[in-house]
A and B are shown apart, each in its own frame.
Chain A
Amino acid sequence: MNKYYLGVDLGSTTSKAVIINEKDEIIGRGITNTRANYSVAADIARDEAIFNARFSILKKNLETEIKANPEYKTYINDLENVFQYEQFKVRLDKIGDELVKTCRTFFKDGKKQEEILSCLRMIRKAFKPKVKQDYLFNNLGAKNQFFRDIVSEKYNEEVNKLDISLFEPLMTVWDKSINPAENERVHFNFRELIHKAMDELKEKYNQLPSTAADDTSVNFDAEMNLLKGNFQHVSESLRTHIDEVTELEFNVANMTGTGYGRALLPFPQECIRSEILCHAFGAHAIFPDTRTVLDIGGQDTKAIQVDKYGLVTSFQMNDRCAAGCGRYLGYIADEMSISLNELGPMAMQAEKEVNICSTCTVFAGAELRELTNLGEKREDILGGLHKAIIMRAMSLIARSGGVFNEFTFTGGVARNPAVNKYLARLVKENYGDGIKINIHTDSIFMGALGGAMFARRNINVNLPKNEKKAMTQ
C-alpha cells in the first residue's frame, strides 16, 4: 500500500497542508485562512490537501489516457472546480443557518426581525447563482479564493444595494455570524460531493452555447470543444476511475506540524517542528543547491542560511515588527481599496519608485495618503512600497550573514511579481551577478512541504533503523 506523509503549516494568515508520497513528490495541497480555532484551520487545510491528492492521483493514473484524450484533463479540472463549489454550498448553508439564528437572538422586536430575515433570504437568493457561475466557469480568477473572502465580498455587494438604514443591522448580523460559522468543523463526504459535482457538470455542458467562437466569456478552447459534444461519454469512461480514487484509503504514515500555531496543533510533541527548519528543508528539497532562504509570510520575515544537507546553520527573523510582510501588503491594499492580488501587478507599472520612509505598517498608510495628496502616482507609490519591503528584507539577510548562491525565496509574498522584481534588482546590486534566485510556484507551501518531508524522515520519532537511510538519501 502507498504511504503518504502530511505537513501542516499553521501560519499567522494562512494555514497550509501538503501531502507527499514516498518519493517526496507533492501530491496534494490545501490552503485556508487561519482563524481563531487553529484546529479547524488545520483540519480544513488537511482535508483540502487530501481531496486535491485524490484528483492528482486520478490524473496520474490516467496519464496515458489523458495524453490521448486531452478533453479528459479539462473534464477533471472542471470537476475539481465544481467539487470545490459543492463544498462551498455546504458552508454557505451553515452560514445561512447561523445568520438566521443570530437574527432571531439579536432582534427581539418581531417586525424588525422579520424585516431583516426577509433581507437575508433575498441576499442569499441573489448571490448563490453568481457564485455558482464563478466556480463553474472558473471566473474567480486571481482573487482570494477562501470561503470567508468570497462570501464577505458578495454579502457586502448585496447589502450595499439595499436601503442605507439596513446597512447597520445587516452588517451586525454578519459580523456576529461569520466567526462561529467559520470556526465550526464541517465534515465533507467526498463520494457524495463528487457525484453531485458530476451531475452539476452535466448541466453545465448541456447549457454551453453550441458555437464556441461567439462567446469569449466562457473560456473556450479546443479541449472544451471536444468535450462539449462528448461529455456524456467522457464522464462515463472516467466514472470507474473516479470511483477508484474515491475509495482510496489515505494511509498517512506520519505528519509534522509547523508554523506560528504549531504548539496549538493537536499533534504529539515529537511531530512539531519549527517553521524555520521546515521552510529551509522544503526550499532545499525543491532547489538542492540552496544556501540562503528568504521567507516572507503573513507576519514574519525570515532569513535562513542552510548547508548542503538543508540543515539550518543560522537565521534571523523580524519578530518585533511586521512592516514588510504579507499583512503589511494587505493593509496597503485596503488603504488603496484594491485587492491584495492587484497590488503587485500595479506596482509593476511604476515608472519610478517613490521613497517610502515609514518603517511602520500603520504609518505607511498615512504616508501613502500624504504622497497621493502630493500628486504622486499610485503605481509609483506602490513601486516604492515594494522596494521598501525588499530593502527591509535585505537588511535582515545581511544580519543573517548575507546571500549565498543559490538563493531561494519562499512564502506567500513570493507570489507578488513586484516583490520579485525588486528582490532580483537588490540582490544584484548587493551581491553581484553570480547569484541564482529560485522562486517556485509552490513557494507558499514550502513550510508544509518541509514538514511533510520531516514526517517522512521520521527524524523525531527515532526509528533507529530508518534514520540513517532517510537522512542520507
Chain B
Amino acid sequence: MGVKPTQPSQREGLKQMQVYKNKMDQQKIQNKKTSLPPLGGGGTAIKENSMILQKDMLAKQFNELSRAKELGKKVVYTFVPGNLTELILSFDLLPVYPEINALQSGMRKKSAAYIRDAEKTGHSEDVCTYVKCDIGMMLNGNIGPTGEKLPDPDLLLLSYTGCFTFLKWFENLERLYPGVPVAMLHTPYQEDGKITDEMVQYMVRQLETEVIPKMEMVSGKKFDKSRLSEMMKNSAKAEDLLVKVLESAKRKPTPIDAYFAGVYYIGPIFTAFRGTEAAVDYYTELWNEVQERINLGLGPVTPEGELNEEKYRLVVEGPPNWTHFREFWKIFYDIGAVIVASTYTKVGGVYDLGFRHNPSGPLESLSEYCMGCYTNLNLPQRVSLIEKYVKDYSADGFLINSVKSCNSFSAGQLMIMRQIEQRTGIPVGFIESDLVDPRYFSYANIKNRLESYFQMLEQRKIIMTQGV
C-alpha cells in the first residue's frame, strides 16, 4: 500500500517556512531602510533601473511634501480616478492622494491599527477601508509612507464623483481640517456607454467656474492654459509608452505581469507625475527594459524571482489586496500563473482604448479623461473591455478579486463573470478579499479557491489539447 509516512513532506514544509520567514525578515529590514513597499521585490529580486527611478521620484515627492510649508507650497488632496494632476501641477500646487497613502499603509502593515482607530471614532465596519485607513493615519499624525509628515490640505479637490464614498470621505476631511475649501467636480456616469458633447461642456463649465477659480484662490496664481497644454504633451508621451508596456503582455511569454507588477507601472502616471518630464523618463526607461526582456525571451519579474514557465495566462478584474500583496502574488507565481491584462491598471485611464491627453483642447481633454476612467464605464462597456482583453491577450482564464470596500468595482461583478463565461467559454473564478483591512484577507480560503481554480484551468488545457 502506497501511503507514505508524513515526515519528509512536513520537514520540507517547515524548511520552506523557515526560508520564507528569513526572506520576510530580510524584507522587513529592507523596508525599514527605505520606508517604501517592496517595488517588485524588496530584498532578493532583480532591481531594474526603472524601479530605482520610481523610488527616487517618490522619495523626492514626499520630501517636498514634508517641507511644503517652508517651501511656501500649497497642497491639494485629491483622488486617483479622473485626477486633474496636470491642472494641479500647472498651478505649482502639490497633490496628495489619500487612496495611495492608504494602500501604502496597507503594504506597510499599518492599516490594521489605523482602521481600528477610525472605528473607535465611530466609523462602522462596513465603511470603505481606504477611508478608515486614511482617517486613522491622520488621527495618528498624518505620517506618510516615507516616514515624513504629510502637510495639511489647502484644498480638497473632489475630482471624481462616480464613487459616492469619495464625497463622504472629503466631508470627513473637511471636519478634520475645518475651514479648508472644497472644490467638487461632478462627473457624469457613462450611463449610455458614451461621452457626449453636452457631458464634456458640462465638465468644462465646472472646471472654469468651480475648480480653476478655487485653485487660483488657493495658489494665488492665474490659470495658465499654455502651461497646461505643454504638460499635456508630456502626458501623451508617457501614455503612449505605458500602453506599449501593457500591450507587451500580448506576447507569449509575456515579459510583464500586468496586475501585480502593473500596479507599479501605473504608479507615476496615475498620481503626481503625469505631465512631467520625470514621468516621460520613467516610462522610456521602463519600455526599454521591457523591450530587452522581449528580445531575450524572458518572462515577468516577480519578488520571488523570474517567472520561468508561463502556465496560465489570466485576465483579472478588481483591485488587489494590499495587506498581503506579496503572499497573494506568490500564490500565482508558485503555480506559474501570470496576469496578462487587468482592469485595475485602468482606474486612472483606459489608455489602451486610444484616449490621450490632448494639448490643443486641454480642458475638454481633462473632462473626457475624467469621464473615461474604468469605474466610470457602464457595465456593458466593462464586459466588452474584458472580453476584448481575453481575446487580444489569449487568456486561459478570467478571475475576479472582489473587494468588500469598493462598490464602484464590486457591484455587478457576478454579472460580469457570467457574461465573460458565456461569451468566451473560458473558466472563470471568484475570490473575495479587501483593500487594506487585513481581517478580510483569509490566506487559507483564498489559496483554497485559487488552487481549485488553477486545477480547473489545468483540466481544461488537457481537454483542449486533445481536441475533444
Contact = CB atoms under 8 A, between A and B. Distances in A.
B388 interface: no
Contacts of A399: 414
Interface in A390-414: 399, 401
A184 to B, nearest CB: 14
B421 interface: yes
Nearest to A276: B452
Interface stretch (A56-64, A67-75, A310-318): A310-318
Interface residues of B, number: 31
Interface in A243-294: 250, 252, 255, 260, 264, 266-267, 273-277
Contacts of B118: none
Contact of A313 (B1, B5, B421): B421
Interface in B422-468: 427-430, 432, 442, 445, 448-449, 451-452, 455-456, 458-460, 462-463, 466, 468
Contacts of A459: 458-459, 462
A296 B456 CA distance: 20
A39 interface: yes
A359 to B, nearest CB: 16
A266 B9 contact: yes
A309 B468 contact: yes
Contact of A39 (B6, B432, B448, B459): B6
A50 B6 CA distance: 21
B4 interface: yes
B418 interface: yes
Given A309-B468, A314-B429, A459-B462, A273 B1 contact: no
Contact of A43 (B3, B427, B430, B455): B3
Contacts of B3: 39, 42-43, 46, 255, 266-267
A163 interface: no
B417 interface: yes
B2 interface: yes
Contacts of A320: 432, 442, 445
Interface string B1-40: 1111110010000000000000000000000000000000
Interface residues of A, number: 35
Contacts of A189: none
Interface string A433-473: 00000000000000000000000000100000001100110
B463 A311 contact: yes
Contacts of A401: 418, 421
Nearest to B427: A313
Nearest to A275: B452
A250 B466 CA distance: 32
Contacts of A267: 3-4
Given A314-B417, A399-B414, A277 B459 contact: yes
A345 to B, nearest CB: 34
Nearest to B442: A319
Given A266-B6, A312-B427, A471 B462 contact: yes
Contact of B449 (A6, A255, A317, A467): A317
B2 A312 contact: no
Contacts of B429: 314
Contacts, number: 80
A304 to B, nearest CB: 9
* Dominant SS among interface residues on chain B: helix
Contacts of B456: 276-277, 311-313
A459 B428 CA distance: 21
Given A277-B452, A277-B455, A46 B1 contact: yes
Interface in B395-436: 414, 417-418, 421, 427-430, 432
Interface string A207-225: 0000000000000000000
Given A471-B462, A471-B466, A472-B468, A314 B455 contact: no
Contacts of A273: 455
Contacts of A46: 1, 3
A100 B458 CA distance: 53
Among B2, B6, B432, B442, find the residue whose CB has the most chain A CB atoms closer than 10 A.
Answer: B2
A468 B466 contact: yes
Contact of A252 (B1, B9, B459, B468): B1
A314 B413 CA distance: 14
Nearest to A272: B451
B442 A471 contact: no
Counting chain B CB atoms within 10 Å of each CB, which of A42, A43, A317 scores highest? A317
Contacts of A277: 452, 455-456, 459
Contacts of B451: 274
B280 to A, nearest CB: 43
A314 B430 contact: yes
A399 B432 CA distance: 13
Nearest to A460: B458
Contacts of B448: 260, 274, 319
Contacts of B452: 274-277, 312, 315
A264 B3 CA distance: 12
Contacts of A274: 448, 451-452, 455
A305 B442 CA distance: 24
Closest 4 CB pairs of A and B: A274-B452, A319-B445, A276-B452, A266-B6
5 contacts: A39-B6, A260-B448, A266-B9, A314-B417, A320-B432
Interface of A: 6, 39, 42-43, 46, 50, 250, 252, 255, 260, 264, 266-267, 273-277, 309, 311-317, 319-320, 399, 401, 459, 467-468, 471-472
Given A46-B3, A266-B3, 13 more contacts: A39-B6, A252-B2, A266-B9, A274-B451, A274-B452, A276-B455, A277-B452, A277-B455, A309-B463, A319-B445, A319-B449, A399-B414, A471-B466
